[in-house]
Structure 1
Amino acid sequence: MKPSEIFFSQDSIKEKFDNGHTIYSTVSVCKKHPYVINKIPRMRVCKKDGKWYTLDNRRLWVFRKLEAEGHIKDVKVNQVSKDRLPAEKFTTKNGGESVVIRQPFVESDEDFDDFF
């Protein structure tokens, strides 16, 4: 699927993944080393009200950025039941068009060898 055809299920995201890497450093590494894109776990998506929403909002942010800059055209996804997206997690207020990043951007010099 094209990342631009998938919508955010939440209204905001943290700037860091659970592994400590930021969404910004992930985009940067993917641009420098395109094969890294395939190491990112597939996004889970579900259909709700005729639209595809992700359960993995930070990944979608990264993939949308890469698509917008011409680095990718589409990504492989795993389709899941909309039951996997509980009402309390569906917080988008703009139909999933965009998200707010909760922490401010800080430039990082993360080393690629530490990335995965």
Structure 2
Amino acid sequence: MSSYDTYPDMYEGWGGGRRTIGVKQMRPSQLRFTHDSISSRFKDGHTMEETFMQLLNGEISLKEVRSLVAMEYQGYWFVVRGNRRLYIMKKLEDIGNISTISVLLQTFDQQVFVKQFSTKNMGLSLKVRGDPFLEQKLNRIVSEWRNNRSGGNSGWYNYSGSGRLRGESNIIISDSTGYNYLGRQSYIPNQQVQSTTNSPSRTVSQPRVISPEPTKDTSSSKEDGSWCVIL
């Protein structure tokens, strides 16, 4: 049986038919970035930090996330669609949360590839714009996740019921930059609230939302150009 599952109609405009080889299960570590840098936010406004936590906490299933799109170049598979998602998937693989993901493989198209290819180190790494502390935040989330699994209680929060729309056309999590928070609220502990539906009474988790950058206090005479939020 072939290791490929062929879907000739997938990703219309990004291969569908002639350029599509098929979908293959691959380790994120087998894939390389085409971009030199990425924004820390998806097109729908959600942060990479939030998306990572939702995947890690099981609130987004990998089945909900459409396959990355990759092309082979000089013997390596480069992701031409989904560099932000690949960054997150690599981190999840590093901590043993996932092993393989679905990747839509396409034959090499120079016109498409050149538009995406800005990496300076053959796709081994990239920079994240807009959040210089993203890696530290992800490491903190992983530490809390591991502590939670081992029976500890470190104040783990959930993103339950965010209702986010994950899409660029039919792509579940988009790759373009954007800015839009889920409301302007601070981190909210995992409170219990009553459901307002007609179904039997039950409790659901309060969604976790992201705070905007705090406003600098101009009332103080001391000038300080930095700010810090303790999460």
Normalization by structure 2: what TM-score? 0.46
- The answer on 1:36 being equivalent to 2:84 is no
Compared CA separation, residues 89 and 110, structure 1 to 2 (3 A)? farther
- Percent identity among equivalent residues? 29
SS class of match (1:82): coil
Alpha-carbon distance in 1 for matches of 2:57, 2:117: 33
Aligned to 1:113: 161
The runs of 5 or more residues in structure 1 that have no matched partner are: none
Normalization by structure 1: what TM-score? 0.87
SS class of match (1:7): strand
Total equivalences in the alignment: 115
Aligned to 2:120: 93
Aligned to 1:103: 130
2:86 to 47, 60, 70: 60
More off after superposition, 33-42 vs 16-25: 33-42
Partner deviation per Cα, 1:46-83 (whole Å, 9 max, x = no partner): 10111000011001001101101111001011112321
From the two aligned structures, give the one with the greater helix fraction.
Answer: 1
The runs of 5 or more residues in structure 2 that have no matched partner are: 1-25, 138-156, 166-231
Aligned to 2:205: none
SS class of match (2:56): helix
Kept after mapping to 2: 8 A contact 1:25/1:110: no
* Amino acid of the structure 1 residue aligned with 2:114: A
Partner deviation per Cα, 1:27-62 (whole Å, 9 max, x = no partner): 101111165222111100110111000011001001
- The answer on 1:79 being equivalent to 2:127 is no
Partner deviation per Cα, 1:76-111 (whole Å, 9 max, x = no partner): 11112321633232000011011100111577x883
Alpha-carbon distance in 2 for matches of 1:102, 1:42: 24
Kept after mapping to 1: 8 A contact 2:28/2:90: yes
* Amino acid of the structure 1 residue aligned with 2:30: E
Q: Per chain length, whose mean CA-contact separation is higher, i.e. which structure has more relative contact order (CA < 8 Å, sep 6+)?
A: 1
- The answer on 1:18 being equivalent to 2:43 is yes
SS class of match (1:28): helix
Alpha-carbon distance in 2 for matches of 1:19, 1:3: 23
Alignment RMSD: 2.1
Runs of 4+ in 1 over 2 A off after TM superposition: 109-112
